[in-house]
Amino acid sequence: MTKRTVLKGAMGAAFAVVAVLSTLSSPAQAASASDCDAGWVCIYENSNLSGSIATLAALGPKGSSSVDNFTPHKFHSGKYLNDQASSAINKTGHDVCFYEHTSWRGRRTTVPAGEWVNFAAQGWPIGDLQNDAASSVSWGAC
């Protein structure tokens, strides 16, 4: 084996290690604030903007309507959205309000324009919507 061949073999092994480490540090379905595009309100399965994301057309750049029932909607992972939302980021220019029940009823929390919130029943002024409880959303502060 020539010195050149040995070097190539060592480099190949180094690349293989890097590839494995990249896979380990990027678990499937992981997400963060940077995964939410400008112009959207993104809803996350877990707190601190982690887990799978749900993007509803009504909460996108062309959205103007509210969503009265999360039941038919899913996260990108395929998991159903209703009663599973734990955090949300608002990359639009308008406040939105999340509600505990369908048809904009129950406990509620505003996600102000340009900000993000954990749904953790923190009380006024953040709101008192609990974790894994959101079932509808409307534009405007609560």
Binding residues for Ca ion, rule: CB under 5 A, are 45, 84, 86, 132
- CB of 51: closest distance to Ca ion in angstroms? 7
Inter-residue contact 54 to 43 (CB < 8 Å): yes
- CB of 12: closest distance to Ca ion in angstroms? 42
Please report where in the chains the tokens 């959101």 appear, as a residue: 134
- CB of 86: closest distance to Ca ion in angstroms? 4
- CB of 32: closest distance to Ca ion in angstroms? 16
CA-based angle 101:42:38, to the nearest 5?
Answer: 145
Nearest to Ca ion by Cβ — which residue? Answer: 86
Local structure of 5: helix, strand or coil: helix
Q: 19, 123, 137, 124: which is closest to 88 by C-alpha?
A: 137
> Of the two residues 75 and 104, which places its CB atom closer to Ca ion in the complex?
75
> Of the two residues 86 and 110, which places its CB atom closer to Ca ion in the complex?
86
C-alpha 76/C-alpha 79 separation (Å) is 7
> Of the two residues 23 and 32, which places its CB atom closer to Ca ion in the complex?
32
> Of the two residues 90 and 118, which places its CB atom closer to Ca ion in the complex?
118
C-alpha 129/C-alpha 72 separation (Å) is 20
Local structure of 29: helix, strand or coil: coil
